[in-house]
Copies of this chain bind each other. A is one copy, B any other.
Amino acid sequence: MKLLRHVLLPPVLLLVLHHLAVADGGHVLVFPGEYSHWLNMRNIMEELVRRNHSVTVAVPDASPSINYNNSRDAAKFNFLVLKVSYTREEYHQLFLDFIHFSMTELPRASMLQKVLLLHNWAQRSIDFGMRQCDAMLKNEQLMATLRDAAFDAVLVDPMVMCGDLMADVLGLPLILSLRFSMGSVMERHCGHAVAPPSFVPTAPLPYGDHMTFRERVINMVTYVATSVITEFFWRTTLNQYYSELKGRPTSMCEILGNADIWLIRTFWDIETPRPVPPNFKYVGGLHCRPANKLPDDLEAFVQSSGDAGVVVVSFGSMVTNLTAERADAIATALGRIPQKVIWRFNHKPKTLAPNTKLCDWLPQNDLLGHPLTRAFVTHGGTNGLYEAVYHAVPLVGLPLFADQPDNLARLTRRGAAIVLDIHTMTSDELTEALQAVIDQPSYKTNMQYLSELHRERPVSPLSTAVFWVEYVMRHGGARHLRLASQELNWFQYHSVDVVLALLAVMIACCALCWAAVRCLLRSCRRRRREKKD
């Protein structure tokens, strides 16, 4: 216990080893992401606990979104709190900066500027990641404790660095949980999930699988550019760090490629179909569930809307403040519709109408599943979007950053959403969009169709995810599902050596034939000459 106390924060954490000792099921070590990533991963973790497994969550003490002091969570999970050399404010600022430049500079930037902006931010982000890695992997006492804890598997959101390396160092099977990586380079290069750019849009381009020629050109350029830039970035930053920690030349991709299972947080309802390695499991919407009863005050407010129903408005867990001017424009638009409105927002706009109720937090899934909910105004984050799909609520999308424009473009293409530009839209436009998705039945019908595609699976996504975590724990991995291409180098993978060998044989055969023909011709000529002579 003494060693644990050194690296962990009291008092919750001293329970770690005790928890592990008493559990009957498996022991999972989890490295979750932050914000919405954490909210999604929690669902898998809670289900694992419900099924009698012990779940230990590695979390930096400066985590901006994981409240490891929360007694409800501490009763379920063992928190392994890592003492890191940065503050919560610094780490939170990293993400705020991402949102800020994504919303302000990125939309107006040239391609080169975009690359530089993202590169600089990624560099900063990796600096935090490395400091978190140091707190784990360079702490020998902690490592010894973790080795003793005898985990059965490591579940990692690759938004967080070194979870994969931890699995490798501890010799444990690895499960990844992710929505996508920039350009899907992680999935393509490390998991060998082919994504031919002729029909698979490169994330996060907002294209469908039937692309125009122009779209295919942009897709190909993005595909190549993301591949080259990401590989260059990894080589100059992460690979060196990974090699140093492993004590031999290695790469992040090699370590990530060891993953037994990739849990992908999307599904074929909104995802474009593509060839899938057998160890990739599409579990999008694993957090969706039937609506629970609303708190009494919220239920009363919803019921007060009568037949008109309610509109739910939320821009996710990360964006709580808009500019006053934009908030006013939204509030004005919301005030003009006959529905009641529930808006997750923490600053009262000047133009707030009596039909609109502001809340600091929403039981979003329960609200979207309420029979009186008519529409959802959203930034298009994957979690909220899937809740809307699950409950068949049409959308008005105001995308902010990351994959949000792409997510919403998918629903717009399927006639289940209207997208507006939050920076330039007028109140009238928002009102019109809301009236359209509520009053024109096609939006609801299309969303209902998507909802069917989403819900009708042989097994629910949460059960699928948990099944594979348990599978990996039971069998110490799932190597038989990994593509053997992961053990080939690029010229073997593309059969360059085989083609060259076959070409060589063909050329040799041709040369031999040619030599034989020449020989024959010469001897013929000689004979003719001899005859003449």
**Which A residues have a C-beta under 8 Å from some C-beta of B?**
193-194, 196-199, 209-210, 213, 216-217, 220-221, 268-269, 272-279, 282, 452-453, 456, 458-459, 463-464, 467, 471, 474-475, 480-485, 487-488, 492-495, 497-499, 501-502
A38 to chain B, nearest CB (A): 25
Docked-complex contact B278 and A488, CB < 8 angstroms: no
Look across to chain B and name the residue whose beta carbon is closest to the beta carbon of A471.
B456
| Cα–Cα distance between A276 and B485 once the two chains are bound (Å) | 14
**CB distance A483 to B275 under 8 Å?**
yes
Knowing A268-B481, A275-B275, the reply to whether A458 touches B452 (Cβ < 8 A) is no
Beyond A199-B488, A268-B480, A274-B483, list 15 extra A-B contacts (CB 8 Å). Answer: A194-B275, A196-B495, A198-B488, A199-B483, A199-B484, A213-B501, A217-B502, A221-B502, A268-B481, A273-B277, A275-B276, A275-B483, A276-B278, A452-B475, A458-B463
What B residues does A480 contact at CB under 8 A?
Answer: 268-269, 273, 453
How many Å from the CB of A174 to the closest CB on chain B? 17
CB proximity of A503 to chain B, nearest CB, Å: 11
Partner among B198, B275, B464 whose Cβ is within 8 Å of the Cβ of A458: B464
CA gap between A40 and B459 in the complex, in Å: 24
Q: List 18 A-B contacts (CB under 8 A).
A: A194-B275, A196-B485, A198-B493, A209-B484, A210-B487, A216-B492, A216-B495, A217-B501, A269-B480, A272-B484, A273-B279, A273-B482, A274-B278, A275-B277, A275-B483, A458-B459, A458-B467, A459-B459
| Contact call B194/A495, Cβ cutoff below 8 A | no
Q: Judge whether A198 and B487 touch: CB under 8 Å.
A: no
Which among A209, A273, A474, A481 has the greatest number of chain B C-beta atoms within 10 A? A273
Give the distance in Å from the alpha carbon of A514 to the alpha carbon of B319 in the complex: 50
Taking the nearest CB of chain B, how far is it from the CB of A475, in angstroms? 7
If A275-B275, A279-B273, A502-B221 touch, whether A213 touches B493 (CB-CB below 8 Å) is no
Contact of A193 among B199, B275, B453, B463 (CB under 8 A): B275
Q: Is the beta-carbon distance between A483 and B216 smaller than 8 angstroms?
A: no
Complex alpha-carbon distance, A282 and B276, angstroms: 13
Whether B276 lies near A276 (C-beta < 8 A) is yes
A190→B474 CA distance, assembly (Å) = 38
Q: Which residue of B lies closest to A491 (CB)?
A: B198
Q: Is B220 a contact of A499 with CB atoms below 8 Å?
A: yes
The docked-state distance in angstroms from the alpha carbon of A475 to that of B495 is 41
Measured CA separation A217–B498 after assembly (Å): 6
